[in-house]
Amino acid sequence: MTQGTQSAPDERGFAAPQITFEPNFQAWRKRPGEPRAQSQRGRLIGKPHAGNGAIIIGAMNESDHTNNPVNSAASDADLAVLARDIRHWGAELGFTAITIADADLPGAGEGLRRWLAAGCHGDMHYMTRHTAERARPAALIPGTRRVIMARMDYWPGTSALPAAEALGDGTLAYISRYALGRDYHKVLRARLQKLAERIAQAAPARCRVFTDSAPVFEVALAQRAGLGWRGKHTLLLGRDGSYFFLGEIFIDLPLPVDTAEPGHCGRCDACLAACPTRAIIAPYRLDARRCLSYLSIEHPGPIPEPLRPLFGNRIYGCDDCQLACPWNRFAPQSRIVDFAVRHGLDRAPLTRLFAWDEAEFLERTAGGPIRRIGHERWLRNIAVALGNAPAAPEILAALRERADHPSPLVREHAHWALRRHGTGNAD
């Protein structure tokens, strides 16, 4: 998933389709003198079906979550070879890195409980559910022994208008770089499912894939798996930055684990200083109620007036804490075509986007992450940005056009923007 509040997880349900796997353990183990790639595999029965971002590949009866024979019969050498193969298959599918963590996160839940008690989650009430399972993958999916963490880069690099230029032009809309292309849920889910199927063809294993579809402490798991460390902005950070998505596969095999990555932020506090609303209230502590990503995506109601001028021209998400991070100077450009800029959203004028009716909004955001906020919040966010834009006839005309919108939410923000330009409500 994307990290932090840039796109909060959809955890309202995480039922998954079942794929039955008929294990052939002896065939999985490499025969003397036989290349592993040519070994006879077990066979899959049935096909995966679309679900809520999760897929189960089973090697056990539904009633037996713990007694996979591979757990006792596989040698360390077998499992090490399988882990190596998983990394190779992941690279073929476009993942930048594949690492493995154990399924134990001692003490990880206490920080969440303090954060929730302080109300820092805002309207994200789903965060209060399944708190115990977040820190205990085996409680979420019985039988889980390891978590395979997958990273996929999204940074558009030179293929998009530089972020600094977009943010510096108040007439343009700034959209978080992760949201310029296709919806990462769809892209990661499809590729993780292919990886899980490949694993099941190679070994009798039970896997479950997640992409923002269950309560998972993915940053803690990714750090434990050696993918990076938690930055002071709360996102996972590596030596080549933080512009990437995370996905995970829960598996019931005791694969060899990777070494956790220590932190490398040192005394740097660039992300704290860069946050427009000071939502990073302390190192490693974010108050979502002040975060522009949360407010523009997750928050359903009016944007708090004191924070509206701080939005600038940001209409979907915010990248400031990442743009300020020195490690992101080394961020690689994504090679995933699905994340390429669509519909010129890296340099679109605010007035053009504000003119979209609901049908055009749905058409142009189809297959992308922006669609989930709906047309009403889209207009709400752009109205705020227009209120912060340089005064110009076309800006005022666009706001007046929406001043009588059927939605009270849109009307209120359009009127605020007009007042900010000194023109009254709709004069």
User: Catalytic site residues?
Assistant: 212
Least Cα distance to 325 among 268, 278, 277 occurs for 268
CA 414 to chain centre: 31
One DSSP character per residue, 92-145 reads HTT-SEEEEEES--TTHHHHHHHHHHTTTTTT-GGGGSSHHHHT-HHHHSTT--
Calpha distance 326→161 (Å, rounded): 20
Least Cα distance to 396 among 386, 405, 382, 406 occurs for 386
Q: Which residues are paired to 285 by β-bridges?
A: 282
Calpha distance 402→273 (Å, rounded): 35
The crossing angle, in degrees rounded to 10, of helices 408-420 and 374-388 is 10
Inter-residue contact 100 to 146 (CB < 8 Å): yes
Residue type, 368: G
Record the tokens describing residue 280, joined without a space.
Answer: 């990073």
Least Cα distance to 321 among 189, 425, 382, 231 occurs for 231
Parallel/antiparallel/unpaired status of strands 146-153 and 244-251: antiparallel
Calpha distance 60→150 (Å, rounded): 24
